[in-house]
């Protein structure tokens, strides 16, 4: 750092941690935010410190280390609405509850984040908040309402990354609702954009959603290609949940191709890696088509 209060140094760090986050390099991003936080504690203004606290908490939550940050985020919101830090705190809390599978609590904070984004007139924040609301609705199985939230987000012009994220989430929900052709349209566009941007974590999620849609469209070979690529990305990024979903979709694609041997092997890998005590799982997955029951967004 050149010195306390030098905004150019902070912005340089911010650009680096945003790039690392978008590429899925979360540990690297967290180290950069920690460096910025140490700098801010020494003399940055209150709003800058508050925003960095939110950035730090957001990455800790994604890394599974966020529990200690949630009370500080709630405390930050008590200081008053209408500021960027209030919106960031609400958005981050919503994400924390989403990962804890507490969709209704998450929706409460996501809607506060959305309302504040509207007040601030920040277009990308409005889009990301609408997308977050859609995610929480989808996680709760409210797919029609999720579609409405995603479509509202797409009405606004936004930068390529949030638009692509909204499109893959919308595409998945449309496919779940039986609108597979429309879902594929959004998913294919999203994968192209995310691949070009190098946003590998989002690319993996989009390819899993696309694999699901191709299975629903009766094209298991295409589904398997995208699920396999998603698994590669998930393994490289250390994304355990994405790798689990990839094995499930690869197994389903093999089933739909009529390749029972490969399906059983893939489901066995899924069971041994993620559910070692559930010996019954392989037979259940082989004998029952659970694709319409399992929610990739839950």
User: pLDDT tens-digit profile of 106-133?
Assistant: 999 999 999 999 999 999 899 999 999 9
Lowest mean pLDDT across 11-20, 171-180, 201-210, 222-231: 11-20
Q: Residue with structure tokens 């996680």?
A: 139
Please, what is the Cα angle at 215 between 236 and 185, to 5 degrees?
Answer: 85
In percent, the amount of the chain with pLDDT more than 70 equals 98
Query: What value does the mean pLDDT take over residues 58-85?
Result: 93
What DSSP element (H or E) covers 159? none
Helix (H, G, I), strand (E, B) or coil at 75: helix
User: pLDDT tens-digit profile of 250-290?
Assistant: 999 999 999 999 999 999 999 999 999 999 999 999 998 88
> E strands of 96-198, at which residues?
none
Q: How much is the pLDDT for 71?
A: 95
User: pLDDT tens-digit profile of 197-242?
Assistant: 999 999 999 999 999 999 999 999 999 999 999 999 999 999 999 9
209 in Cβ contact with 231 (< 8 Å)? no
d(CA 176, CA 186): 13
Torsion angle defined by CA atoms of residues 17, 20, 21 and 27, in that order, rounded to the nearest 10 degrees:
-90
d(CA 15, CA 29): 10
d(CA 62, CA 78): 24
- Give the list of residues 6+ apart from residue 280 with CB closer than 8 angstroms, or none: none
CB-based burial label for 176 (10 Å; 0-12, 13-18, 19+)? buried
Provide the token pair at 170: 């919308």
**CA dihedral for 69, 54, 112, 205, sign (positive or negative):** negative
Q: How much is the pLDDT for 104?
A: 94
Provide the total of helices (H) and of strands (E) in the chain, helices listed first. 15, 0
Q: How much is the pLDDT for 2?
A: 44
Query: What value does the mean pLDDT take over residues 26-34?
Result: 95
Provide the token pair at 145: 């309402």
Query: What value does the mean pLDDT take over residues 159-183?
Result: 96
């Amino acid at each position: 750092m050149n010195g306390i209060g030098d905004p150019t140094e902070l912005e340089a760090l911010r650009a680096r941690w945003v790039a690392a986050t978008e590429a899925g390099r979360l540990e690297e991003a967290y180290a950069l935010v920690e460096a910025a936080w140490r700098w801010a504690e020494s003399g940055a203004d209150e709003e800058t410190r508050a925003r960095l606290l939110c950035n730090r908490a957001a990455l800790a939550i994604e890394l599974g280390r966020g529990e200690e940050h949630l009370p500080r985020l709630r405390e930050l919101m008590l200081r008053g609405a209408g500021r960027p830090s209030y919106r960031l705190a609400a958005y981050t809390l919503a994400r924390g509850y989403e990962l804890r599978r507490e969709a209704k609590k998450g929706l409460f904070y996501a809607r506060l984040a959305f309302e504040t984004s509207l007040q601030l007139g920040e277009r990308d924040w409005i889009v990301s908040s609408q997308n977050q609301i859609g995610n929480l609705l989808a996680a709760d199985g409210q797919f029609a309402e999720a579609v409405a939230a995603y479509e509202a987000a797409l009405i606004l012009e936004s930068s390529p990354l949030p638009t692509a994220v909204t499109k893959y989430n919308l595409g998945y929900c449309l496919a779940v609702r039986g609108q597979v052709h429309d879902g594929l349209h959004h998913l294919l566009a999203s994968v192209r954009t995310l691949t070009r941007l190098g946003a590998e974590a989002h690319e993996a999620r989009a390819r899993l959603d696309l694999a699901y849609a191709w299975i629903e469209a009766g094209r298991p070979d295409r589904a398997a290609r995208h699920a396999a690529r998603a698994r590669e990305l998930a393994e490289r990024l250390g994304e355990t949940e994405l790798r689990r979903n990839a094995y499930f979709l690869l197994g389903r694609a093999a089933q739909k191709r009529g390749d029972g041997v490969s399906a059983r092997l893939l489901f066995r890998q899924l069971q041994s890696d993620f559910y070692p005590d559930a010996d019954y799982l392989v037979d259940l997955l082989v004998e029952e088509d659970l694709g319409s029951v399992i929610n990739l967004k839950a």
